[in-house]
């Protein structure tokens, strides 16, 4: 797509009303360019926040989390444990935890999860 903009000389020769219209068009173009969608972010969760998402305790996350993290990496190429922080705790990926729940429901890289028929 090519947009032809007037030269400075052409703008100088416009009437005040024409310049106002041109400014309005340029502002609309600028506004449209600033409203492009941003990529989704994946919040880093503390162990306390992660346990609420997963429905498991912090102790479970520390004891069994690395094993399940590796299983997800083997299956999907991503896990849910983010880089450990200084105090020894880990931060957890919200998207990764949601993927773990889907994995527990039967979803695999080669097939989607089957909807549960029990309510």
Residue pointed to by tokens 């190429």: 77
Q: Taking the CB of residue 53, how many other CB atoms lie within 10 A of it?
A: 16
Residue 50, classed as helix, strand or coil, is: helix
In this prediction the pTM is 0.57
What ranges do the domains of the chain cover?
1-36, 44-104
Q: Distance between CA 80 and CA 4 in Å, rounded? A: 48
What's the longest Cα–Cα distance across the chain?
A: 74
* pLDDT digits (tens), the chain, 119 positions: 676 888 889 989 999 999 888 888 888 887 777 776 776 788 889 889 999 999 999 999 989 988 999 999 898 888 899 876 666 678 899 999 999 999 999 888 876 555 544 44
């Amino acid at each position: 797509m090519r947009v032809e903009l007037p030269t400075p000389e052409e703008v100088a020769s416009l009437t005040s009303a024409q310049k106002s219209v041109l400014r309005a068009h340029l502002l609309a173009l600028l506004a449209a360019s600033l409203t492009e969608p941003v990529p989704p972010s994946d919040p880093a969760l503390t162990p306390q926040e992660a346990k609420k998402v997963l429905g498991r305790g912090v102790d479970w996350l520390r004891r069994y989390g690395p094993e399940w993290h590796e299983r997800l990496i083997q299956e999907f190429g991503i896990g849910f444990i983010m880089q450990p922080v200084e105090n020894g705790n880990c931060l957890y990926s919200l998207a990764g935890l949601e993927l773990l729940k889907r994995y527990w429901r039967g979803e695999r890289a080669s097939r989607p999860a089957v909807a549960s028929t029990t309510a």
